[in-house]
Amino acid sequence: MYLLKRFANIRVAYIHSVDICSVFQIGDAKKITPKTNVLAVQRDYEKFNTKEGSFRSYQLFRESIPQPSFDEQFSSAYSNNSPNIYVDHVKILGISSSSIVNFGSAEEICAEARIKHIRQLSKNVDGDEKQR
């Protein structure tokens, strides 16, 4: 598949934060492949051990994700009547977890994010002293 790439003309861009394995790309890219593993632990009280948790112990970090095949045969025709894309103003609050903001063209983008959420609450919810 061959696609004649267009020019991206952006006048103003404002991005507040670029987080966890994300890409803000100005210009053309050949291949962008960010991959993230996240263990998101929310606790009722502040307690953090520097040595705890392991990606291996959760199945979602080990299993393989089925990918689409790109070698499917089909006939395609592209006609770019205008070689330009104009955007006056872009405002983004945040990009996170293997995300991509790309001004320009890309040949291949292949992103992957695996997020495991765990919430730990203390037993006494009625305002008694929390168990530690």
Partner 1 sequence: MNFTVINNGLHVGMVRIIGVSSSSVFLIGDADKISLSSIFDTPPESLIIGPFVPLSLD
Residue 92: which of 102, 82, 83 has the closest Cα?
Answer: 102
Of residues 33-62, those binding partner 1 (CB under 8 A): 34, 36, 39, 41, 43, 45, 47, 49, 51-54, 56-58, 60
| 128 lines the binding site for partner 1 (CB under 8 A) | no
Rg (CA), the chain: 22
Of residues 68-97, those binding partner 1 (CB under 8 A): 68, 70, 74-82, 84-97
- Write down the least CB distance from residue 34 to partner 1, Å: 8
- Write down the least CB distance from residue 105 to partner 1, Å: 4
# chain residues binding partner 1, by CB under 8 A: 81
The tokens for 102 are: 């790309």
Residue 92: which of 24, 20, 8, 42 has the closest Cα?
Answer: 24
CB atoms under 10 Å from CB of 80, counted, come to 11
